A and B are shown apart, each in its own frame.
Chain A
């Protein structure tokens, strides 16, 4: 049995392990449709190149990139929230792509700057509040407009948000509160919101899905996900908090030791082009593209009309700040039934 395995192993090596010059191995952490669209567009433009794409979430990808360090099987990692990309850059798991970022918007250039060119911003999405209109109407609860509203007892047991220990989305929320209100005040406010929280989910996108299905009344998450759910037909309304809000930057990175470096660079350049980014809306992706010349979908949350804070990715993306804030969150906000 083992013999057979090894022989076929040897036979399959050709197809499995070796990345030929005309193959790019891509991990895509954006949503499947967008991944498929990007690969299709790239292959149409470069008929000699085959993009081997697999979709994995950012956490899974980071875990895999870490485990494979030294002999990576991935060339380029496209999409997904920026924090894991920044961590990978910080740990030396990715390399600078050296692409021209001059056409990009400020926040995308900023990301390239703090990561020494290793991660480049491809889209941005603002943090927001969503509510299920059916449920709030039925219960006679006035919809929230500000972060402060979420502290109101009228939302008792109706709010769902992810746990920042496991979810990047929730960490963005934590960091946003800290930057809006100052660290001490932020913890007090988060704890007050926490009194209304019915559960801290593991995954960052779960709360909005629960709100869409009516399993919870209100959720905190990224607005483009909420818009996507609403466009599928769920009675979900999206709110940009009045105090202002933080945002995430999705990124693209080339893995250190990539077997097809040329191809990876080609992909990064491709992914930053205005005409390519403009097509994201065709697959219902409502993030704001990073190229200043790219078209923004009409449904996209208009970043200009949202009060965006000047999110400090360098400080709040660093491991030190992260562990300190999370330790405080655990101690002062924490799960509803903390084990002391």
Chain B
């Protein structure tokens, strides 16, 4: 253990002496920074007048000396911990105060020419120093006896807290303080009347003809969508695991389709089907003489589109959980003379609670943070996410209003989160125990099966129709008006000049950027998400609830707010990232990480702790236990996290729109531009290509990750074939 600390300290020192402390314009591998007269590493920088860089190096040196000289382990650990934390603190403070441009904190604290000249953003040297100090601190903390002395666990917690702090809290604070801003200062008293204004929380729609406040609209929509998607997701999951339905693969693809659909496309397709001039509307108007109405525009349209879009998320969370419910329990119930309905109602369903709760929470949060559907279909039905967007980019920009609405949105999320915790309570839902269990899952009782079919199959059919429309739309000249067949849209987007081998299509650039960035972001997201889930389910530490909520934060904040706050926070030193592809990757990782966390938690709460304990008893450390025992059992959760974060990175719009730059443009930003332009054909053709690409990628991932074998065969009772 002492060795590990020393290794980290050595790495830190090496980077302090050898690597450029600041960001360099020409990149790390260009050697310009060495030649530049003033050597740019931490050590030479601090000798050359940038004295504020010294504390970090000093902390590394002192910590190393402490490690080598003090024999008594606990005292050594405590002193090292103190030194490393102090070093990190000084690094952060100097980074925030001494900047070349942009806002500084504690402006009056330090003055002088050298300081006013400022410094560029932190670079490789600073980054590695910070990591070294962080790990030296966390390992020492574990050596001092915290966290059951488990260095791996403490370091992971430390790293995740640091990452979430830097990439979630730090930017979000930039925008939330705006809520308290009044002319030339900050005020708490101004905040409350604005926050509790009837525009936000008004209940006018319940008692009269007026509109409700936007937060009430969002809340209502969120609860309805959460319930709806959980219910639909459950019916699909049950059909998959508890019936011998023949066309499961088709169903599987259909349930995944909406999730991989770029935004606006579902809304657009719904308008073309169910809008006032839509195909279905026209059909019923002609057949039955119904009035053509604009029912789609408003709450019902948004709700409809959200159900289509978010049911797959519920399904992805629930499928793992429903599969995981142990047959032994169900068999025990049946042996005790319960019928299949009673077994389902009193045994299976309660065991699915973590899945149901997480699916609901995700559906709720997705719904209130959703931006595309309300924008396209909302009409007079205003929700928080669109109001926030237009408070930032509308004709009258009002960041204070945006911040207040964002806080309203956060308070909704927090309430949902608390409600979910209360409902789950402190019961155990572990059903995968490692004990022999060769049983078969009970099939659904006939009534329930009929209900599931009756709900899920029409829904699947509807999805199928919507998607055929989309494919159809990409091959016709002008969707809705001129249905002559054409390849024009595809050629414009993805044309290749075969004589020169040049890619002439307008979409190629953004297509490759999108794929590259998403494939980098997806595994990172899964890694961060699942390690967080592991900590939350398996480890006990102080402030765990707050930690759990903070990991959900970035998901709950609408993309627009995240996008703008990222510009505010990362356009200036100490961390300057705007205009790079890194900022896109980071925004995806931390925005989508909660899905990994939720899925991971749901799956992991089913794994009995005795599995870990057995592994630890046999002498494995917690890292090995994670790798050899937990990970293999987490297949579906890993797959869900990978798939979802990959897909979300490709399809998200609102956060990305502020962060894309000329060199790193994303497909969705491109598509939105085309939709704004009214070029639906090109937009849909591009979307169709993205959908196919994502489908292929998902299938590939499924092959790579493999399926989890819980039992010798995952059979359903009275089923001839193994599923």
A17 touches B123 (CB 8 A): no
With A26-B662, A202-B375 as contacts: A167 and B395 at CB distance below 8 Å: yes
Q: Is A171 an interface residue (CB 8 A)?
A: yes
Interface digits, A1-37 against B, CB 8 Å rule (1 contact, 0 not)? 1110111111111111110000001100001110010
A322 touches B396 (CB 8 A): yes
Q: Is A213 an interface residue (CB 8 A)?
A: yes
Q: Looking at the assembled complex, report how far the CB atom of B588 sits from the nearest CB atom of chain A, in whole angstroms.
A: 12
A165 touches B578 (CB 8 A): no
Q: Looking at the assembled complex, report how far the CB atom of A291 sits from the nearest CB atom of chain B, in whole angstroms.
A: 24
A7 touches B586 (CB 8 A): no
Give the distance in Å from the alpha carbon of A315 to the alpha carbon of B579 in the complex. 36
Q: How large is the interface on B (under 10, 10 to 19, 20 to 34, 35 or more residues)?
A: 35 or more
Q: Is A299 an interface residue (CB 8 A)?
A: no
Which one of A11, A36, A73 lies within 8 Å of B661 (CB-CB)? A73
Interface digits, A312-327 against B, CB 8 Å rule (1 contact, 0 not)? 0000000000110010
Which one of B202, B378, B576 lies within 8 Å of A339 (CB-CB)? B202
Q: Looking at the assembled complex, report how far the CB atom of A12 sits from the nearest CB atom of chain B, in whole angstroms.
A: 5
Which one of A9, A12, A66, A339 lies within 8 Å of B211 (CB-CB)? A339
B199's closest neighbor in chain A, by CB?
A339
Q: Is A332 an interface residue (CB 8 A)?
A: no
- Interface-lining segment among B19-27, B362-370, B541-549: B19-27
A55 touches B395 (CB 8 A): no
Q: Is A56 an interface residue (CB 8 A)?
A: yes
B478 touches A14 (CB 8 A): no
With A6-B128, A52-B663, A213-B275 as contacts: A68 and B578 at CB distance below 8 Å: yes
Which one of A1, A12, A168, A201 lies within 8 Å of B379 (CB-CB)? A201
Taking CB atoms and an 8 Å cut-off, the chain B residues in 66-104 that contact chain A are 100-103
A25 touches B582 (CB 8 A): no
For B198, B528, B582, the residue with the greatest tally of chain A CB atoms inside 10 Å of its CB is B582
A12 touches B397 (CB 8 A): no
Which one of A14, A55, A164 lies within 8 Å of B30 (CB-CB)? A14
A337 touches B209 (CB 8 A): yes
Taking CB atoms and an 8 Å cut-off, the chain A residues in 52-101 that contact chain B are 52-57, 59-60, 62-64, 66-68, 70-71, 73, 83
Task: Point out the residues of chain B lying under 8 angstroms from A15, CB to CB.
Answer: 27, 663
- Interface-lining segment among A120-128, A142-150, A226-234, A263-271: A226-234
Q: Is A140 an interface residue (CB 8 A)?
A: no
A66's closest neighbor in chain B, by CB?
B397
Taking CB atoms and an 8 Å cut-off, the chain B residues in 644-669 that contact chain A are 657-658, 660-665, 669
Task: Point out the residues of chain A lying under 8 angstroms from B209, CB to CB.
Answer: 337
For A68, A171, A202, A234, the residue with the greatest tally of chain B CB atoms inside 10 Å of its CB is A202
Q: Is B676 an interface residue (CB 8 A)?
A: yes
List 10 tightest A-B contacts by C-beta distance, closest first. Answer: A59-B393, A52-B662, A214-B277, A16-B580, A14-B27, A6-B127, A10-B28, A166-B394, A199-B379, A166-B390
A interface residues (Cβ-Cβ under 8 A, vs B)? 1-3, 5-18, 25-26, 31-33, 36, 51-57, 59-60, 62-64, 66-68, 70-71, 73, 83, 135, 157, 164-168, 170-171, 198-203, 205, 209, 212-216, 225, 228-229, 232-235, 322-323, 326, 335-340
B interface residues (Cβ-Cβ under 8 A, vs A)? 20, 23-30, 100-103, 123-124, 127-128, 131, 159, 163, 198-199, 202, 204-205, 209-213, 271-272, 275-277, 294, 297, 375, 378-380, 386, 390, 392-397, 477-478, 480-482, 506, 524, 527-528, 564, 567-568, 571-572, 576-582, 585-586, 657-658, 660-665, 669-670, 673-674, 676-679
* A-B CB contact pairs (8 Å), 8 listed: A15-B27, A52-B663, A59-B392, A60-B657, A67-B568, A68-B567, A164-B395, A202-B375
Known contacts A17-B25, A70-B102; can you find 8 more A-B pairs with CB under 8 A? A3-B128, A18-B26, A31-B673, A53-B662, A73-B579, A201-B379, A212-B678, A337-B211
